[in-house]
């Protein structure tokens, strides 16, 4: 009896001590250093985190963002990871890098964490399947494969990332000239079809009309545009045609996919081939169509340097009527201190290829970035980083991010009635996200991409034909992928 009392007393004291000391004993000072590209969506994340984040575990958490300029982002992250400095606990990463850095042992496999956590499961199931496919799975699973496997986390699938900023490309256009009555009448008279003015008009715009717009608005200094005399040359259209990074692949893939062609399909390895697929007649025709519209674009297109930032800049200078660019680059366009067209811009879905039934296929290459966790984090840091993920992907945070130039990948958030009104491109983003596919995720993606960009660049600058370019790409990919055993 006496022993029992002593034991009961000890237990009571322990429980009391644990109860009183629970918060100080479990809470910890945690700093999460995140590698992030320096642009508005990540700047907002840091700002909003500092204002609103409360750790559900009672931790005193600091989000230390290492903002890195876009042009050197890959090199800086890669150098940090491979040097072994273990600086980052979280990384905003392009989806294409998953293979290289998962195989390198740097990105943490979150599959078990998701299986253990109903909140994370709910998030995964609410994310748009195109994003789960592109941003999270490695080895890569297509959207169709994931949908066949059932809700996330599906058996046999490895999950790594969550959307930090899900991006799509949309059309930015000058409402003042596209909705000018005189221009509309002239366009109608010349082409027998309407000049797209409203969002609904852009929903019915295919590449053929895109080319007509380019031809129609290509004007020299001194000519009239929407009732005003042009002080400088003006161009109708622009899209990506740059040698750097993926600045032509993203646009060309869209043409190829929309017309029924394909790139080398990693989800079907080792049976998927490069030769005969990458340079198929359909792919060549699609690439030729892409090239055919470059003549209507600003002359920088002829140098192979028309990247996403150049077209954004030319548009903001008022030198181009309509561009196709990422939503993530939309915010500066509306800033009067940076853009001459801030009060004249509107947004629509990107053009696509018209099918036999009259519908338009807008399949495109997904942009944006997921964020991932690194493998050297302690359990405590992993759990807190996942708390940050849950905070970021909560409806309130997602709405706030969207209102400040971000985008959401959560279907429940995108379906909210106020969503489309938060920013002028949101409706187009919601429409475009359903069309997204991704390029390769294998560790050798940079070799594939660089060689492809070089060959595309030769075609863009008129040195070789579309067929020669795709033949060279197919041959290189076949050889490389056979060498590493991805093609048998």
Partner 1 sequence: MAELATDNLGTQGAARGGFGAWLLDPKRRGALLVTPAITILFVMNIFPLMWSFGLSFFNYKASSPRVPSFRGLSNYERVLTDDKTWERFQTTAVIVGSSVLLQLIVGFLLALMFAKAFPLRRIVLMLVLTPMMLSFVSVGVFFKLFYEPTFGIVSYVMNLFTTEKFVMLGSPAGAIAGIVIADAWMWSPFVMLLVLAGLVSVPKYLYEAAEIDRASSWRTFWTITFPYIKSLLLLAILFRTIETFKLFDIVYIITEGGPGSSTETIAVFLYRNAFQFFQTSRSAALAYIVLFIVIVLTNLYLYAVNRRAQEAN
Name which of 87 and 458 has its Cβ closer to partner 1: 458
Per CB under 8 A, contacts with partner 1 among 416-445 are 443-444
Which segment (35-43, 166-174, 269-277, 460-468) binds partner 1 by CB under 8 A? 460-468
Name which of 86 and 121 has its Cβ closer to partner 1: 86
Give the shortest CB-461-to-partner 1 separation in angstroms: 4
**452 three-class SS:** helix
Give the shortest CB-286-to-partner 1 separation in angstroms: 20
Q: Which of 183, 266, 384, 455 binds partner 1 (CB under 8 A)?
A: 455
299-336 b/e with 16+ CB inside 10 Å = b? ebbeebbbbbebbbbbbbebbbbbbbbbbbbbbbbbee
**293 three-class SS:** coil
Provide the greatest CA pair distance for the chain. Answer: 105
Burial of 23 (0-12, 13-18, 19+ CB in 10 A): exposed
Name which of 70 and 185 has its Cβ closer to partner 1: 70
Give the shortest CB-368-to-partner 1 separation in angstroms: 21
Distance, in Å, from the CA atom of 311 to the CA atom of 330, rounded to the nearest integer, reads: 12
| Bridge partners of residue 190, in order along the sequence | none
Contact 328, 334 (CB under 8 A): no
- Of the candidates 189, 191, 185, the one whose C-alpha atom is nearest the C-alpha of residue 210 is 191
- The answer, yes or no, to whether the previous bond of 270 is cis (omega within 30 of 0) is yes
Retrieve residue 10's tokens.
């000890």
**Site for partner 1 contains 458 (CB under 8 A):** yes
**Site for partner 1 contains 298 (CB under 8 A):** yes
Name which of 47 and 103 has its Cβ closer to partner 1: 103
| Bridge partners of residue 229, in order along the sequence | 224
**Site for partner 1 contains 222 (CB under 8 A):** no
Q: How far are the Cα atoms of 50, 194, 477 from residue 455, in angstroms, in the given order? A: 45, 36, 12
Name which of 167 and 307 has its Cβ closer to partner 1: 307
Which segment (156-164, 167-175, 196-204, 453-461) binds partner 1 by CB under 8 A? 453-461
Distance, in Å, from the CA atom of 111 to the CA atom of 153, rounded to the nearest integer, reads: 7
Name which of 7 and 79 has its Cβ closer to partner 1: 79
Which segment (53-61, 155-163, 210-218, 300-308) binds partner 1 by CB under 8 A? 300-308
Name which of 115 and 319 has its Cβ closer to partner 1: 319
Q: Which of 158, 305, 394, 404 binds partner 1 (CB under 8 A)?
A: 305
Distance, in Å, from the CA atom of 322 to the CA atom of 294, rounded to the nearest integer, reads: 13
Q: Which of 86, 208, 420, 450 binds partner 1 (CB under 8 A)?
A: 450
Name which of 52 and 317 has its Cβ closer to partner 1: 317
Q: Which of 201, 233, 262, 482 binds partner 1 (CB under 8 A)?
A: 233
Per CB under 8 A, contacts with partner 1 among 55-114 are 74-75, 78-79, 81-82, 100-101, 103-105
Which parts of 142-293 fold into alpha helices (H)?
Answer: 143-149, 175-178, 181-191, 199-203, 207-217, 249-258, 281-292
**Site for partner 1 contains 463 (CB under 8 A):** yes
Q: Which of 33, 125, 198, 302 binds partner 1 (CB under 8 A)?
A: 302
Name which of 44 and 106 has its Cβ closer to partner 1: 106
Distance, in Å, from the CA atom of 337 to the CA atom of 271, rounded to the nearest integer, reads: 53
127-149 b/e with 16+ CB inside 10 Å = b? bbbbbbbbbbbbebbbbebbeee
Q: How far are the Cα atoms of 8, 11, 17, 19, 200 from residue 4, in angstroms, in the given order? A: 6, 10, 20, 22, 79
**Site for partner 1 contains 257 (CB under 8 A):** no
Give the shortest CB-103-to-partner 1 separation in angstroms: 7
Per CB under 8 A, contacts with partner 1 among 393-412 are none
- Of the candidates 95, 64, 101, the one whose C-alpha atom is nearest the C-alpha of residue 79 is 101
Distance, in Å, from the CA atom of 49 to the CA atom of 328, rounded to the nearest integer, reads: 19
**Site for partner 1 contains 244 (CB under 8 A):** yes
Per CB under 8 A, contacts with partner 1 among 308-327 are 314, 317, 319
Binding-site size for partner 1 (CB under 8 A) equals 39
Give the shortest CB-433-to-partner 1 separation in angstroms: 29
Contact 443, 99 (CB under 8 A): yes
Residues that bind partner 1 (CB under 8 A): 74-75, 78-79, 81-82, 100-101, 103-105, 232-233, 243-244, 298-300, 302-305, 314, 317, 319, 443-444, 446-447, 450, 454-455, 457-458, 460-464
């Amino acid at each position: 009896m006496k022993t029992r009392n002593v034991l009961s007393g000890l237990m009571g004291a322990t429980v009391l001590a644990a109860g009183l000391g629970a918060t100080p004993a479990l809470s910890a000072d945690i700093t999460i250093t995140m590698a992030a590209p320096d642009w508005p969506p990540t700047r907002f994340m840091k700002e909003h985190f500092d204002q609103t984040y409360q750790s559900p575990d009672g931790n005193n958490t600091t989000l230390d963002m290492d903002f890195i300029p876009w042009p050197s982002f890959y090199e800086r992250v890669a150098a940090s990871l491979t040097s072994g400095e273990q600086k980052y606990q979280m990384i905003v990463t392009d989806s294409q890098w998953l293979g290289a850095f998962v195989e390198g042992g740097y990105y943490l496999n979150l599959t078990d964490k998701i299986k253990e956590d109903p909140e994370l499961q709910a998030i995964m199931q609410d994310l748009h399947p195109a994003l789960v496919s592109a941003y999270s799975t490695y080895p890569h699973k297509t959207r169709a494969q994931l949908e066949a496997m059932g809700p996330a986390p599906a058996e046999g699938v490895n999950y790594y990332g969550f959307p930090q900023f899900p991006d799509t490309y949309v059309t930015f256009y000058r409402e003042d000239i596209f909705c000018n009555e005189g221009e509309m009448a002239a366009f109608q008279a010349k082409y027998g079809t309407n000049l797209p003015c409203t969002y609904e008009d852009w929903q019915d715009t295919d590449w053929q009309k895109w080319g007509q717009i380019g031809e129609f608005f290509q004007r020299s200094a001194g000519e009239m545009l929407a009732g005003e005399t042009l002080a400088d040359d003006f161009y109708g259209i622009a899209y990506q045609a740059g040698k750097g990074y993926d600045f032509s692949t993203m646009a060309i893939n869209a043409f190829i996919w929309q017309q029924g062609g394909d790139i080398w399909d990693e989800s079907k390895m080792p049976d998927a081939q490069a030769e005969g697929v990458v340079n198929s007649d359909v792919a060549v025709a699609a690439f030729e169509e892409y090239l055919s519209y470059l003549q209507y674009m600003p002359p920088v297109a002829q140098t192979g340097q028309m990247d996403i930032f150049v077209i954004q800049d030319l548009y903001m200078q008022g030198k181009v009527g309509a561009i196709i660019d990422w939503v993530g680059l939309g915010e500066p366009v509306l800033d009067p201190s940076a853009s001459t067209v801030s009060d004249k811009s509107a947004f629509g879905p990107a053009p696509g290829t018209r099918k036999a039934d009259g519908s338009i296929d807008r399949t495109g290459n997904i942009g944006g970035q997921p964020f991932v966790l690194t493998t050297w984090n302690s359990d405590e840091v992993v759990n807190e980083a996942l708390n940050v993920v849950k905070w970021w992907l909560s409806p309130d945070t997602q709405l706030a991010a969207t209102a400040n130039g971000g985008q959401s990948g959560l279907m429940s958030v995108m379906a909210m009635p106020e969503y489309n009104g938060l920013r002028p491109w949101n409706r187009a983003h919601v429409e475009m996200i359903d069309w997204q596919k991704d390029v390769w995720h294998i560790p050798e993606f940079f070799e594939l991409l660089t060689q492809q960009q070089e060959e595309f660049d030769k075609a863009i600058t008129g040195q070789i034909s579309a067929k020669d370019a795709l033949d060279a790409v197919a041959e290189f990919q076949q050889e490389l992928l056979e060498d590493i055993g991805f093609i048998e």
